[in-house]
Amino acid sequence: MSNPGLSELTASSDERGNGHRSRGPRIPRRRRWWLLGLSAGLIAGSVAGVVALVAGAHDREPVLVLTRDLAWAEPISQADLATVDLPPEAARFTVSQARLGEITGKVAATNLRAGELLAPRDLTTQAVPGPRQVVVGLRLEPGRFPSAGLIPNTPVEVTALSGASSSIAEASPTTSAFRARVVRMAPPDAEGAVVVDLLLPDYAAHQATSAAATGAVLTVLGPDH
């Protein structure tokens, strides 16, 4: 006669034995050290990038920017300038705020627009007129200058007329012509005439005064003149 308790104990022992044998030997896992190293490198690179980005955002320099339009040869004052912060690699092409005190006494070397960054090439100490130069004002009747107007530093040729006449057809050009550069042009008067200040060599001053007395026609030249 069999013992039920002993049979259950024996079956349970056999099942545990069979289950243990079915799992087989346990193989230890290999640690992937290269993967851990790669992860650490990526984390370190990300942290360094964030640090560089934050540092670059604060590493900026104040430079000068124009607050209004300036014509060629017009004096520049501190009131014409403001400051803006730029990265160092861009700031080296401009004028630093630290040089603001050096601006006094300098003039615009070209026509400048409001909002432009001030560059060293935009400044000059050469006043207008310079040595052996003169500035002559010339009144021009309508039809004797381009309708688009004249901007400073534009090269022009001035041809004097033989007689003072309100009609170009009645006045004939002379062979006396000279070249100059526009300094500024005043707004038209009630008759539509304008006064243009011209910069020219001092040896052409007599021609310019004669043209102012008899009238003249002004022609705009190309940039190569």
89-107 pLDDT, tens per residue? 877 789 999 888 888 789 9
Structurally, the chain folds into a number of domains equal to: 2
Q: Within a domain: residue 65?
A: yes
75 and 120 inside one domain: yes
137 and 91 inside one domain: no
Q: Within a domain: residue 178?
A: yes
109 and 149 inside one domain: no
Q: Within a domain: residue 30?
A: no
92 and 153 inside one domain: no
pLDDT value, residue 184: 92
What CATH number did the domain enclosing 93 receive?
3.90.1210.10
141 and 214 inside one domain: yes
| Helix, strand, coil percent values for the chain (each to nearest 5) | 35, 30, 40
115 and 177 inside one domain: no
Residues of the chain with pLDDT under 50: 6, 9-11, 19-20, 51, 164, 166, 168-171
Q: Within a domain: residue 14?
A: no
Helices (H) and strands (E) in the chain, counts: 4, 9
For 221, what's the count of Cα atoms within 13 Å in the CB-facing half-sphere? 15
pLDDT value, residue 41: 67
Please say whether the beta carbons of 158 and 180 come within 8 A. Answer: yes
pLDDT value, residue 101: 87
In the block, tokens 């980005």 appear at: 53
Q: Among 90, 124, 158, identify where a domain stops.
A: 124
| Domain of residue 182, residue span | 133-220
175 and 193 inside one domain: yes
Q: Among 103, 124, 145, identify where a domain stops.
A: 124
